[in-house]
Amino acid sequence: MVAGQLPFFSRLIRSGEFHLDDAFWGSPTSTPYFQAGLLYGLRHSNLPAYSWFDRALGRELRMNVPSDALEVERRLRGTGRDSLLDGGGHGYFTLFRAGAENALSMSTLGSLKLMAHAFSFEMLGLSSARTRSVWSFLRSLGVEAWRAARETVRWARALGSWSHESAFLASRIFFQRLGWSFAHTKALVDMARGVPVIYLVYGNYDETAHRRGPRSPLARSELHRVDAYLAELYAMARAVERPYDVVILSDHGHVDSVPLEQRQGARLKSVLFDEGPAVPLSDDVARGLCDGRSRPEQDVRPREPFTPVVVECGNFAHVYLSGEREALDAHDVLARYPDMLARATRNPDVGLVAMKRGPSAALVVQGGVYGLEDLERAPLASEFSRPAVRDFLRGLPSMKTAGDLVLFGEAVRRGGTVGFAWEFGSHGGLTRTEANSLVCWPADAPVDLSGLSHCADLHDRLAEAYLEPAHRLRWAP
């Protein structure tokens, strides 16, 4: 807003027509966790990241894989909670269908039969909403594709790496241009048709910020594009016979990240598990993890074979050391994997190490161990959000899908952290940038969205204002 990248959004706020407030949705600060809370009202959804190792299935789940999103959708639906989209709502580019009448979510892509059946329905109304000819659109798409290809080549050559670039190029052409333009147009058609609830996700900034950084010129240009889309949505919302209340929100922040591989020349799994010089475990760390219990002898008993899994989730990572159904206690990690634990807690690019400790959780920071009761004394870097760290530790023991260790990249510069994945903008972690979200709503709307501290609270307030059934009229004899 200050830099002028969101002129329409800025006018909405400055005019007094809309309220704007900070919001905290809980941690992890990632889209699966947020959407489970917003759509279903789940406070503990057991979704630790965008990707994780699922202990029940014995394999990694990724939310950009339709069949995996469908599996998680079934679990969320099985909680018995109603969704904001139940009863005729539409969702666009969501991870979960969540009862929407249409089928444009990641989970619905997991069923070819469902997509084939829904195709004709999704095309309804598009011809009447067309604003330019097919040839004009194709020429524009061709020009944008050429520009995207040139930018990709320049970036890859300057960086000396083509990692993820082919996928990013395809994403820019087919999703950021075709996909989101299609979804935006469909949302306008939905308003004209009177669809009761519409949830539209603009993921183009997110995709670009991951690959180029959240403050890059390319990412800022995507924000400007979203702002223009919001202006069209708002105009339609005011023009239809039954006006809509438009709620604008961010589901997480993006923080600059510097890949660990770029800094240390190796991926995180190699750093933790490859043979190298012995690193002693700090006595203070061992004592803190024992929490009054005696320090265990090294446990080398034979167990069912399991290859450790490291899931790099941006600027944090889940480390799975065993195939057991629940995460190991810190005492067991200390007994079985002292060398790996020493490498993790002494690595200068690892800022925080979290794990279960008894019925609660503990955090290793700068050679000290801190629980919820003494977290205020922890020497956290100023980039980290203490409320987000506290929320994460509070929920970790019940998050069965979390790793035995959860590592967070160190804050290595103002507004930036180390990233474990090969990306230059990250989210899901515990920095203030990632945890501080925004919510914006009409001043004359029948809802107050100020002071929100969890995405489930957002669900509850929206459901109460818009979805609670009215008292039925009864004919009196």
The pTM score is 0.91
Do 12 and 147 belong together in one domain?
yes
pLDDT at 474 over 60: no
How many domains, the chain? Answer: 2
Return the C-alpha torsion angle 375, 395, 355, 328, nearest 10.
150
Residue 413 has a pLDDT of 78
pLDDT band at 124 (very low <50, low <70, confident <90, very high): low
User: In this structure, how many other beta carbons lie within 10 angstroms of the beta carbon of residue 313?
Assistant: 26
Terminal-to-terminal C-alpha distance of the chain: 60
Helix (H) or strand (E) holding 12: helix 7-14
Do 279 and 416 belong together in one domain?
yes
Q: Which of 104-118, 190-204, 327-341 has the lowest mean pLDDT?
A: 104-118
Q: Are 437 and 431 in contact (CB under 8 A)?
A: no
Structural domain boundaries enclosing 88: 7-254+435-467
pLDDT at 116 over 70: no
Q: What is the mean pLDDT of residues 460-476?
A: 69
pLDDT digits (tens, 9 = 90+) for 384-403: 999 999 999 999 999 999 99
Share of the chain above pLDDT 70, in %: 92
pLDDT band at 278 (very low <50, low <70, confident <90, very high): confident
Provide the sign of the torsion angle of the four alpha carbons 6, 12, 18, 20, taken in this order.
positive
Partners of 317 in the beta sheet?
Answer: 312, 407
Is position 474 within any domain?
no
Q: Are 1 and 20 in contact (CB under 8 A)?
A: no
Distance CA 26, CA 352 (A): 18
Distances in whole angstroms, Cα of residue 472 to Cα of each of 147, 192, 462 = 58, 28, 21
Do 155 and 125 belong together in one domain?
yes
Do 230 and 356 belong together in one domain?
no
Exposure letters 194-206 (e unless 16+ CB within 10 A, then b): ebebbbbbbbbbb
Distance CA 188, CA 193 (A): 9
Which of residues 476 and 149 earns the better pLDDT score?
Answer: 149
Is position 1 within any domain?
no
Q: What is the mean pLDDT of the chain?
A: 90
Distances in whole angstroms, Cα of residue 432 to Cα of each of 3, 249, 260, 455 = 20, 17, 21, 17
Do 331 and 210 belong together in one domain?
no
Do 231 and 299 belong together in one domain?
no
Do 375 and 285 belong together in one domain?
yes
pLDDT band at 135 (very low <50, low <70, confident <90, very high): confident
Is position 23 within any domain?
yes
Counting runs of H as helices and runs of E as strands, what totals does the chain give?
18, 18
Residue 115 has a pLDDT of 60
Distance CA 352, CA 367 (A): 10
Q: What is the mean pLDDT of residues 367-374?
A: 95
Partners of 192 in the beta sheet?
Answer: none
Q: Which of 133-137, 146-150, 207-211, 283-287 has the lowest mean pLDDT?
A: 133-137
Q: What is the mean pLDDT of residues 10-33?
A: 96
Please report, for the domain that includes residue 458, its CATH number.
Answer: 3.40.720
Distance CA 265, CA 422 (A): 12
Is position 350 within any domain?
yes
Residue 119 has a pLDDT of 59
Spatial CB neighbours of 56, under 8 Å, sequence gap ≥ 6: 325
Distance CA 126, CA 185 (A): 7
Distance CA 24, CA 434 (A): 10
Is position 473 within any domain?
no
Is position 461 within any domain?
yes
Is position 66 within any domain?
yes
Residue 132 has a pLDDT of 58
Choose among 59, 60, 63, 82: nearest CA to 72: 63
Choose among 64, 25, 55: nearest CA to 320: 55
Spatial CB neighbours of 423, under 8 Å, sequence gap ≥ 6: 164, 210, 211, 257, 259, 314
Do 131 and 189 belong together in one domain?
yes
Is position 2 within any domain?
no
Do 367 and 456 belong together in one domain?
no
Do 305 and 222 belong together in one domain?
no
Residue 125 has a pLDDT of 58
Which of residues 132 and 196 earns the better pLDDT score?
Answer: 196
Distance CA 338, CA 41 (A): 39
Do 224 and 349 belong together in one domain?
no
pLDDT at 471 over 70: no
pLDDT at 299 over 90: no
Do 250 and 377 belong together in one domain?
no
Q: What is the DSSP string of 212-234?
A: H-TTSHHHHHHHHHHHHHHHHHH
Choose among 428, 433, 452: nearest CA to 47: 428
